[in-house]
Structure 1
Amino acid sequence: MLLLLSVFTKILHTTHSITFPGDIQILKDLKNGLDPNSITPGSCLSSWDFSVDPCDHLFTNRFTCGFRCDRLVSGFSRVTEITLDPTGYTGSLASTGWTLPYLQTLDLSENSFHGPIPGSLSNLTGLNRLCLSMNSLTGPVPGSLGSLSLLEELYLDNNFLVGPIPFSFNGLVGLKRLELQQNNLSGEVPDLGKLKNLYYLDLSDNRLSGEVPATLPTSLVELSLRNNTLFGKLPNSLGGLVILQVLDLSYNELNGRVRSFLFDHPSLEQLTLSHNRFSSLEVVNNEGVNSKLIALDLSYNELRGLLPAFMGSMTELSALSLEHNKFTGMIPSQYAVKAARPGHGTSPFERLLLGGNYLFGPIPGPLLGLKEGSVNVSLVDNCLYRCPDMFFFCQGADQKSMQDCKSFGPYIP
């Protein structure tokens, strides 16, 4: 009987969870580094009571949530995930030692952490997901983060970070998703061509300059460089992103031609190039019948010439905005048919915005039968003098004056 009791006691001892002491200290440092007033009663962090073993008391009233432990080392459990609930914790991340080699996920997003991103986060060599978005972090992005070779997701968006994107990020060869939007980052977009697994890249709403990179990962599915100060022409390399579905380069200073391969792309569904300085369009040879585009926005540029008729032949296109450019001529009949009565297998226009150009001539017949609310069409601020307010697509703004229209093009009747 004593022998059985001894064996049972030994089994209990070997299965008992003992948190690695260094991991406990990191958890203590994290909690102690926060403003106590930001730790609300009932939150995950408020339940952390270090009078007992953390990993052995997960999901009890002592440690209700906030991290996960795995038994990775003989005799010890190691912390593999820290995820704080978004309740407005405030404090500095620099007060924590960050020596957790088995940590796989660190998610401190949607709080009020301030100060710099500590370079010691590079000690988290097992990390595959780092999320610090929607805080108040300042200072530069540490180049040492480029050494986290197992990292798959990196979220530093919606902070106040400054300086360049580190060139060392090209070493994050396992990275699949990179979000740095809504900061004050500057300098050129670095070469990220070695990131063969990167499918999502968002660098929008920063102060990045230079040209659109000529070398981009061919694995990209979504690319957003919106609202920066990028200039120059579109690189040919964009045509090599053969699985790209979403491209947003709006609110920059890009110029030159909008390339034809964007209208005949094998997978591109959303293309937004608005608020730039593009002056012309390249026409595709096959009238765009192979295009996968669903939404196309070229508004607020300096595009000239006749409206491209081929856009009315794109079978999937349902949202087209060409407003506030310098297009002239008559509205192509293809546009009107696609908005009013498209053929079988063709998506109708749900949005057709052509205002703010120099279009003239009669309103195409199919548009005259449209009922208000059936489709979003706008033809305001053009030279369409036979566009009375009785038609909903003529409401909201006047047509240009005769003087403005004649000064733009004397051939406008």
Structure 2
Amino acid sequence: MARLLPSIISLCFHYVIVTTVFISIPRLTHSSTLEADTQILRALKHSIDPSSISPISYLNSWDFSVDPCEGSLAQFQPLSLDSENLTYLSLSNNEFAGPIPDLTGLWQLHTLDLSSNQFHGNLPNLPMRLRSLLLNHNILSGHISPVTRLTHLRKLDVSDNRLSETIDFFGEDTRLQVLDAEYNRLHGYLPVNLVTIRNLTTLNLAHNLFSGTIPREYGDKPGQSWRSLYLDNNFLSGNLPPKFISRRARLTGSLANNCLRCPTNIPLCRGGQRPGSECVGQNSGSR
């Protein structure tokens, strides 16, 4: 059975919460959607391949001949309306296909969930106020750099895509707490500047093409902010940072299936390592 679109979009100013089994649908009074938000919603709908939209998808209710905040709820189901600006947008789990258009105009958007679809192409320019960005389980490719400017971002999940190039992003001013980029094609050395992210607690770069050694700076993070670290199934080599061993009880995760000299009594090393020869061609040199 085709799946319905579980989209929840926060748009308008006045509302009364109506509780249902699945979503909260507000009643509208007098307000109107910003034209910029309406235009971007229209562009997003038009960017999706019509053949990937189920006949019973709620996306078919998006009738832009009326204002989303002034029309019948039946025309824009399911919507949650709480301000004149769009703050939450989810089109997850629909198998929608197509590129993602430029979304920077949604300047008040704090949550964007486009996960578990078939969106493809490069990452677009994104709203600067995003706090949660979920693009996992798509076919996105190219560079991850468009997200580096999002200093309000707290959670980023781009796992299970085709992102490549090197990773060198995020500065000290970011508020990022969770970074999940596993199952991509990211390569090069592990980015040292990730240790400067003060609030980062979860880092998952497993199942990529990273090579070289684990930066010694990573050893300072267990026992400070890092609680979870997954670097398994890459092509890393060399010794572990010494503090990975002394602080092993404070960090969960995995370093398995690399070419590391990883003591078997370290929980992070459970699962074994590749033969060293498998990493020779991947390494582009030592640090």
User: Match for 1:246: what amino acid?
Assistant: S
Structure richer in strand, relative to its length: 1
Task: Select which of 207, 213, 234 maps to 2:123.
Answer: 234
- TM, length-normalised to structure 2: 0.73
Give me the whole-angstrom Cα distance separating, in 2, the residues matched to 1:225 and 1:306.
29
Task: Select which of 247, 253, 269 maps to 1:370.
Answer: 247
Gaps in structure 1 of 5+ consecutive residues: 1-103, 112-125, 130-145, 147-158, 182-194, 343-347
Task: Select which of 188, 203, 210 maps to 1:327.
Answer: 210
Gaps in structure 2 of 5+ consecutive residues: 1-15, 30-40, 42-53
1:402 — aligned with what? Answer: 276
Structure exhibiting the larger radius of gyration computed from Cα positions: 1
- TM, length-normalised to structure 1: 0.52
2:265 — aligned with what? Answer: 390
Task: Select which of 192, 196, 206 maps to 1:313.
Answer: 196
Tell me if the contact between 1:263 and 1:293 (Cα under 8 Å) persists in the aligned partners: no
Give me the whole-angstrom Cα distance separating, in 1, the residues matched to 2:121 and 2:273.
33
Give me the whole-angstrom Cα distance separating, in 1, the residues matched to 2:248 and 2:88.
40
1:37 — aligned with what? Answer: none
3-state SS, counterpart of residue 405 of structure 1: helix
Distance 1:168 1:353, change over 3 A: same
Give me the whole-angstrom Cα distance separating, in 1, the residues matched to 2:58 and 2:158.
26
2:47 paired with 1:172: no
1:351 — aligned with what? Answer: 228
3-state SS, counterpart of residue 377 of structure 1: strand
Q: CA deviation at 1:288?
A: 1.1
User: Match for 1:222: what amino acid?
Assistant: T
Q: CA deviation at 1:410?
A: 8.2
1:293 — aligned with what? Answer: 176
5 Å-filtered alignment, 1:12-411, equals 107-109=19-21, 127-128=27-28, 161-162=56-57, 164-168=59-63, 171-173=67-69, 197-215=85-103, 217-236=106-125, 238=126, 241-259=127-145, 262-281=147-166, 283-284=168-169, 288-340=171-223, 342=224, 348-372=225-249, 374-384=250-260, 386-395=261-270, 397-409=271-283
Q: CA deviation at 1:174?
A: 7.0
CA deviation profile, 1:255-291 (whole Å, cap 9, x unmatched)? 00001x523423111011000000024534xx61111
Query: Whose relative contact order is higher, 1 or 2, with alpha carbons under 8 Å and at least 6 apart?
Result: 2
Tell me if the contact between 1:276 and 1:301 (Cα under 8 Å) persists in the aligned partners: yes
CA deviation profile, 1:303-344 (whole Å, cap 9, x unmatched)? 01000111111111111110000000110122111124x4xx
Give me the whole-angstrom Cα distance separating, in 2, the residues matched to 1:311 and 1:410.
21
Give me the whole-angstrom Cα distance separating, in 2, the residues matched to 1:220 and 1:329.
38
More off after superposition, 209-218 vs 272-281 = 209-218
How many residues of Structure 1 are paired with residues of Structure 2 in the alignment? 237
3-state SS, counterpart of residue 393 of structure 1: helix
Distance 1:313 1:165, change over 3 A: farther
User: Match for 2:67: what amino acid?
Assistant: G
